Every structure is written in structure tokens, then in C-alpha cells.
Amino acid sequence: MEIVPGVYRVEGIAGSNAVLLAGEQMAVVDTGFPGNGEAIVGYIRSIGRSPRDLRWIINTHHHFDHSGSADELHQLTGASIVAHRDEVVPAKDGRKLLRKGVEGEPIPIWYRWLFHGHRPGVPDRPIHDTVVHETVDHGDRLEVLGGLRFLHTPGHTPGSLTLVLEGQQMLFLGDSVINNVNRLSRPLMWDRKKRRQLDASLRSLRELAVDIACFGHGPPLQEAVMERVRSLTDRPYDMPTWQIVLKNWRTLRKFYRTNRQRRGVPEGVGS
Ligand SMILES: [Zn+2]
Ligand SMILES: [Zn+2]
């Protein structure tokens, strides 16, 4: 689906959204679960472009529903894998590896439960290392479609990125905000310190002039974007987890069922 000229939401992807930025040089923002590499390459061909023109594979953050096919896609196209410098860990041989949900950050049971049955064979946690070729920091920019700027918005993960496509007044929020179709929410997070950090990150975006927002989960939003993002941080985000679960149990149930039934993750949960 072409969201605006040159910006495509890749179809047939399992896990998070994958968005293709097809300027003279091309980039993809997130790749979903493992196993999407061929689908993304096929999509690039379907819009009449060569997979060889893909220059960057950008990870909004390390979670494997977003970074799962980064390595596959790198093997297929030669594109560089990009992440924020706080989203990588050094390997003994000097390479930079994308964080994994292994040390200190196991994938929680509730998350596995939500994605259970989403796709048979999806591992509980990332099974292989993803080498990151380029790290970026707050304010860095890539020459894609009139300029893609990186903003460091930690909270959901230490190196979560928000991207601004300057020529299109377009924002990519990763999992910092989830679009539940009828409302926006912040991701479900147990740790209150991380929630405060995420809120500070979202408040830092308040003054941006943006017409369109893309999310890691859910469809793009084209109306009253910043008004709605701003109103999120006006709501309290310090509710105990059990209350969030109670408040959202219908959404959680729907999310679980939808995942069981078909590919794609149309909805998220949070507060
Ligand atoms: Zn995430
Ligand atoms: Zn996600």
C-alpha cells in the first residue's frame, strides 16, 4: 500500500509493520518477524524497483517482531543494517550486535502468550545474532526521500528511534506509540522507570510539525496526528500493571485471537 508517494507499507508481513522508503536510494523501516526477507524483496520488485537499490535496513528498536528479518534481508540485498547506538552490544570480535531479548531482558510470558500461534515456529526469543553495520545517534540524517532524521526516544527500549521523514512531514514511532485504530496508546510496560522515560521522550516530540504518523503496529494515522500524540502524555501512565490488564482485557483478548487467526499484527495494547 502506498501511503504517500514513495512510502509503502509492505504487504504480507508477519510481526510489526515494514515500511519501504523508495527514493533514489531506498530504505526499509523494520522487517517484522524472521521469515519476511523474500516477501520484502518481492514487494520491492512489485513496485518496479531492484532489491539492489535497497541501501539501509533501519531498526526502530531491537525487538524481534521488528528486527527479525533484518539479517535475511541484508543477505538478499547487501543493504546495511542500522540501529541506534544504545540498541547494540559489542561482540568480542569488535562487531556490533543488535541487542537480543536474552541477557537481562527475556521476552515476557505475556508477550509470548499474545503471539502464541501467530506463526508456528516463531521462536521464543531471537536465535541468531544480527550484526549492525551502521549505528546512529540523535540528530543524524540519511539521504532518503528528501531526508530522514533520527531522534533518540528511549523508554520502550534504551535505543528506540523515532524517525522524521522531513520532505513528507511524516513520523515513524516504532513501538513508542501504538495505533489501536480507534485510539492511540503507549505500549504495555511493567517497569515504571521505563514508562517515565518513554513519556519524557514523547513530550520531546510535542513541537514537531507532522501530518502523518506510522507505527510499529496498526495502520498509519493522517488526522490530528500531533494533537493525539500530545494528548497521550496528558494522561497518567503510572497505573499498576494489573489495572492496565484489567482495563485492556478486551483488547488483549482480541489481539490474541487475531494473532491466532491470521498473519499480521493489526492491534496493540497499552494505556
Ligand atoms: Zn517493541
Ligand atoms: Zn512491536
Mean pLDDT of the chain: 86
Q: Ligand 1 centroid to 185 CA: how many Å?
A: 13
* Per-residue confidence band for 224, with pLDDT thresholds at 50, 70 and 90: very high
Q: What is the CATH number of the domain that holds 122?
A: 3.60.15.10
Distance CA 46, CA 244 (A): 42
Q: Ligand 1 centroid to 270 CA: how many Å?
A: 12
**Residue at 32 is within a domain:** yes
Which ligand is in closest contact with the Cα of 66? 2
Per residue in 149-198, pLDDT (tens digit) is 999 999 999 999 999 999 999 999 999 999 987 789 898 787 888 999 99
**Residue at 267 is within a domain:** no
**Residue at 156 is within a domain:** yes
Which ligand is in closest contact with the Cα of 15? 2
**pLDDT score of 108 more than 70:** no
**Residue at 21 is within a domain:** yes
Contacts of 110 (CB under 8 A, 6+ apart): 188
Q: Return the pLDDT at 57.
A: 98
Which ligand is in closest contact with the Cα of 14? 2
CB contact at 8 A, 109 and 180: no
| pLDDT top residue among 15 and 37 | 37
**pLDDT score of 147 more than 50:** yes
Contacts of 93 (CB under 8 A, 6+ apart): none
Cell numbers for 60: 526502530
**Residue at 271 is within a domain:** no
What stretch of H or E contains 202?
A: helix 192-203
* Per-residue confidence band for 109, with pLDDT thresholds at 50, 70 and 90: low
**pLDDT score of 268 more than 50:** no
Q: Ligand 2 centroid to 248 CA: how many Å?
A: 17
Which ligand is in closest contact with the Cα of 30? 2
Cα dihedral sign, 142-145-151-157: negative
**Residue at 103 is within a domain:** yes
| pLDDT top residue among 66 and 126 | 66
**Residue at 124 is within a domain:** yes
Percent of the chain with pLDDT over 90: 63
Cell numbers for 130: 544480527
Distance CA 249, CA 243 (A): 10
Q: Ligand 2 centroid to 119 CA: how many Å?
A: 15
What stretch of H or E contains 229?
A: helix 225-234
Q: Ligand 1 centroid to 48 CA: how many Å?
A: 31
Half-sphere exposure of 242 (CA within 13 A, CB side): 0
Count structural domains, the chain. 1
